[in-house]
Structure 1
Amino acid sequence: MFEVLVFMFENYFSHHTALDSDVMEQELSAAGFDSSDITGAFDWYAEMKSRLTEPAPHYAHKHSGLRVFSDMELKKINTESIGFILFLQQANVINDMERDLIIDRAMALKQQVITVEEMRWISMIALWNEGREKDYLFVEDALFNPRGLAIH
């Protein structure tokens, strides 16, 4: 399912291509993706979009700075991925709500372990869909720059 999400992002969403879901499903199927993975990716993406349009949850503090991960999250999301999310938050690229959305979407994937590359893709998809291309570019640099992030 994750591969379908990446394909969808690279070929449709990042180019602001609006296709009918039936057409997209046919194209994804023609590209060799399994129908259950396509359906799962559509559901994952729809859930993310619905959470982006929900009213923001109330946090006790503007910047909580502390996120306690559940045992299930710690088992599924590897240490490097957690470090990446915390880095984004400390760099003020994402806020508490976006952090929680990204973690939720990571937990919704089928993989038993979420790698940092997968976490970066999830972050990019979430930021892009919020219309935050500038922040998306920051994460894209983290994903595709072989030397890693250049902090100035």
Structure 2
Amino acid sequence: MFEVLVYVYENYWQGDACPAASQLSRKLTAAGFEPEEIQAALIWLEGLNVAAQGTQISLPASGTTTDTINPSASIRAQAPDSLRIYSVAEQTHLGAQSLGFVSFLESSGVLPPHMREIVIDRAMAAPGDPVTLDDLKIIVLMVYWSFGEEPDALVLDELCDDTEFRLAH
């Protein structure tokens, strides 16, 4: 599935240029991907689309956020000193390395809380137990992609760099 996601990211890096699911499926089949991989990736991408659209919120001056899809729903913005507690299922499925990386991105200020929650959601929907760090990096890239944002150069380098051959100084 992750090979398909990388292909989609590389070929449709402008999210609005990505074709509809049926046309994307045909293009992925023509590119040589297996039907099971394509189906898993399309289901995962649909979940990403739903999650990203669900966070399209406006911030009124009152300090609460109003959901534009359901204007009667009100959500409080996360307080700066709040703490995210991971469930046992999240800890098990993500693993210490992936959770540490999410924490690193968040503390660096490049992964806001709403995007962190989508990363966690999509990682929980991904195969692997635990999810590998490389797969998590792809998930983070896809979350940025779903918002039509490109991470800054240093974050992009961290997400795309193969750390296997890195030498610590």
CA distance in 1, matches of 2:103, 2:116: 8
Residues 1:78 and 2:95 are matched in the alignment: yes
The answer as to 2:121 corresponding to 1:89 is: no
Aligned length: 147
Q: 1:101 aligns with which of 108, 114, 118?
A: 118
Root mean square deviation, CA, Å: 2.4
Indicate whether 1:36 and 2:25 are aligned.
Answer: no
Point out the structure with max Rg over C-alpha: 2
Cα offset for 1:15? Answer: 7.6
2:164 aligned with 1:139, yes or no?
Answer: no
Deviation at 1:25, TM superposition (A): 1.1
Q: Which residue identity lines up with residue 30 of structure 2 in the other structure?
A: A
Distance 1:86 1:5, change over 3 A: same
Give the AA of the match of 2:102.
Answer: I
Please list every run of 5 or more consecutive structure 2 residues that lacks an aligned counterpart in the other structure.
58-64, 66-74
Q: CA deviation at 1:48?
A: 1.1
Q: How high is the TM-score relative to the length of structure 2?
A: 0.74
Per-residue deviation, residues 114-150 of structure 1 (Å, max 9, x unmatched): 11111111111111221222x25443210233567xx
Give 1 or 2: higher strand fraction. Answer: 2
Structure 1 residues 33 and 75, CA gap change in structure 2 (3 angstroms): same
**Secondary structure of the residue that 1:87 maps to in structure 2?**
helix
Q: Which runs of 5+ in 1 are unaligned?
A: none
Partners of 1:68 and 1:15 lie apart in 2 by 31
Q: Secondary structure at the match of 2:17?
A: coil
Q: Deviations over 1:19-53 (max 9, x none)?
A: 34333212212333222221221121122112112
Greater Cα offset, 113-122 or 55-64 = 55-64
Q: 1:15 to 1:95 in 2, by over 3 A?
A: closer
Q: What corresponds to 1:50 in structure 2?
A: 50
- What letter corresponds to residue 142 of structure 1 in structure 2? E
Percent pairwise identity:
29
Q: Which amino acid aligns with 2:155?
A: V
The 8 Å contact of residues 5 and 41 in structure 1, kept in 2 or not, is answered as yes
SS at match of 2:33: coil
Query: Which residue in 2 is equivalent to 1:128?
Result: 145
Q: Which shows bigger deviation, 30-39 or 115-124?
A: 30-39
